[in-house]
A and B are shown apart, each in its own frame.
Chain A
Amino acid sequence: KAGVTQTPRYLIKTRGQQVTLSCSPISGHRSVSWYQQTPGQGLQFLFEYFSETQRNKGNFPGRFSGRQFSNSRSEMNVSTLELGDSALYLCASSPGASNTGELFFGEGSRLTVL
């Protein structure tokens, strides 16, 4: 089975721009979660989608948004980028039917905001 695929792997943006990141989960997985990883903060939960519905949301401003498509692929969008948005954005998938299973992570999209 193919793993979780995130695109793009690296990108550079300037303040004020917006960015869209994509995540393709493992085939059959219906839950997709997004995390922001920074050296000082560790992994911060952004949101989780299951069957095209947002089930959970972390404490991030409204500039951060996401969606999930009928094929379970997910995108997250950050508008009006700030320097502090520079981070590794990780996507994780799971079957979603149970909360005892582990998450399967992609390799991340590293965003640099200049």
Chain B
Amino acid sequence: AQSVAQPEDQVNVAEGNPLTVKCTYSVSGNPYLFWYVQYPNRGLQFLLKYITGDNLVKGSYGFEAEFNKSQTSFHLKKPSALVSDSALYFCAVRDPNSGGYQKVTFGIGTKLQVIP
């Protein structure tokens, strides 16, 4: 069974500093990995994904994530945090052997607080 762990409930970072939100996963075979962001009282918005290829993927709003197969991790990063980045971030994994099935497993979420 596939699973995702986000070990930090909350991450605090000062505006302008680099940020990292951690994610580890468990899935058979090569995973499809995603990051989503949720602002208060809104649905989730897609940020970026890793399917194959370059381990460093770039996404929306200046975010990027690094896929590390040996550590089964997919950490979300941004070189310089903005106050507007404050939100709830979800890591997600899909089993590539699920065919077209859209069963995606999400982590519990990490609240990012960027301090002015």
A residues near B (Cβ < 8 Å) are 4, 6, 31, 33, 35, 41-43, 45, 48, 50, 55-56, 58, 90, 92, 94, 96-100, 102-108
Contacts and interface: CB of A to CB of B under 8 A. Distances in A.
Given A56-B101, A99-B99, 8 more contacts: A35-B106, A42-B108, A43-B109, A45-B105, A97-B100, A103-B34, A104-B46, A108-B42
B51 interface: yes
Interface SS majority for chain A: strand
B29 interface: no
Contact of B103 (A56, A97, A100, A108): A56
A104 B32 CA distance: 16
Interface in B56-99: 90, 94, 96, 98-99
Contacts of A55: 100-102
B96 A106 contact: no
B33 to A, nearest CB: 11
Interface residues of B, number: 26
B11 interface: no
Contacts of B36: 103, 105
Given A41-B108, A107-B42, A98 B100 contact: yes
B17 to A, nearest CB: 26
B106 A48 contact: no
A50 to B, nearest CB: 7
